[in-house]
């Protein structure tokens, strides 16, 4: 056998061996490829529970002689007063609103009205607060605090606006009433409801 014939036979042998190796590689490519995943994320940042607006209450005038002789009820001059609250905390924990009235005092002499009663009748004026139910006929006397609105968990979020109509202040009959201009502070308290940990 010539050298050229020996070389040719060797090449033929290698090609025959290489053919099944190529077929085996094709079979393994049919195996499923394990899926992989990536992640995406972001942060939602909560804001505050706060008052966004509120208005003062002004009442009609009356005469000293009327209060000396009988009880008098004064009506608010403005048809409507509003108080607005924003809850953008994103905690769903609810909140409470209460009101406290100070003494009704004459600005020059400092004399006070005895046992006046401020009556509030709030209603909701925002569509997104329809599930809330403010208290009715809230009667405030000096230095006492009364609840106005209790908001449970998962409600009262976003904007809540209260409207006050038919607001009155009643002055009992008293002989020592002084003429003058009377004012009082109406303090609104907004407080978050804190969850109680019941885990033992």
Domain-embedded: residue 142:
yes
- Checking if the pLDDT of 28 tops 80, the result is no
Q: What is the pTM of this model?
A: 0.76
Number of domains in the chain: 1
Q: Which domain holds residue 99?
A: 49-192
Q: What is the DSSP letter of 33?
A: P
Across residues 92-109, what is the average pLDDT?
94
Percent of the chain having pLDDT more than 70?
Answer: 80
Confidence of residue 12 (pLDDT cuts 50, 70, 90): very low
Q: Could you give the CA distance from residue 85 to residue 132 in angstroms, rounded to a whole number? A: 13
Domain-embedded: residue 23:
no
Question: Do the Cβ atoms of 132 and 149 come closer than 8 Å?
Answer: yes
Domain-embedded: residue 41:
no
CATH number, position 65: 2.60.40
Name, in order, each residue with C-beta under 8 angstroms of 35's C-beta and a sequence gap of 6 or more: none
Across residues 61-65, what is the average pLDDT?
96
pLDDT number for residue 131: 74
Domain-embedded: residue 1:
no
Write the DSSP string, 116-150: -EEEE-EEE--GGGTT----SSEEE-BT-EEEEEE
Domain-embedded: residue 26:
no
Domain-embedded: residue 96:
yes
Domain-embedded: residue 78:
yes
Confidence of residue 102 (pLDDT cuts 50, 70, 90): very high
Domain-embedded: residue 114:
yes
| Residue in this structure with the two tokens 């061996």, named with its chain if needed | 17
- Checking if the pLDDT of 30 tops 80, the result is no
- Phi, psi dihedrals of residue 44, rounded to the nearest 5°: -100, 120
- Checking if the pLDDT of 66 tops 60, the result is yes
- Checking if the pLDDT of 61 tops 70, the result is yes
Q: What's the mean pLDDT when you consider all of the chain? A: 83
Q: Could you give the CA distance from residue 187 to residue 198 in angstroms, rounded to a whole number? A: 33
Across residues 133-156, what is the average pLDDT?
93
- Checking if the pLDDT of 169 tops 80, the result is yes
pLDDT number for residue 11: 34
State the pairing for strand pair 138-140/186-192: unpaired
């Amino acid at each position: 056998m010539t050298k050229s014939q020996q070389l040719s036979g060797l090449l033929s042998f290698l090609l025959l061996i290489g053919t099944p190796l190529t077929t085996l590689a094709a079979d393994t490519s049919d195996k499923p490829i394990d899926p992989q995943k990536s992640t995406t994320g972001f942060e939602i940042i909560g804001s505050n529970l706060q008052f966004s607006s509120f208005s003062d209450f002004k009442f009609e005038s009356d005469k000293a002689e009327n209060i000396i002789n009988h009880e008098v009820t004064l009506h608010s001059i403005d048809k409507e007063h509003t108080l607005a609250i924003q809850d953008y905390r994103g905690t769903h924990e609810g909140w409470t609103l209460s009101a406290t009235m100070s003494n009704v005092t004459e600005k020059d002499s400092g004399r006070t009205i005895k046992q006046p009663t401020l009556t509030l009748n709030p209603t909701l004026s925002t569509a997104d607060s329809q599930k809330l139910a403010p208290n009715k006929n809230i009667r405030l006397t000096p230095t006492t605090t009364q609840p106005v609105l209790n908001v449970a968990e998962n409600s009262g979020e976003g904007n809540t606006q209260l409207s006050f109509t038919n607001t009155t202040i009643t002055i009992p009959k008293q002989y020592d009433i002084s003429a003058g201009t009377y004012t009082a502070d109406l303090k609104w308290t907004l407080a978050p409801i804190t969850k109680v940990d019941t885990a033992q």
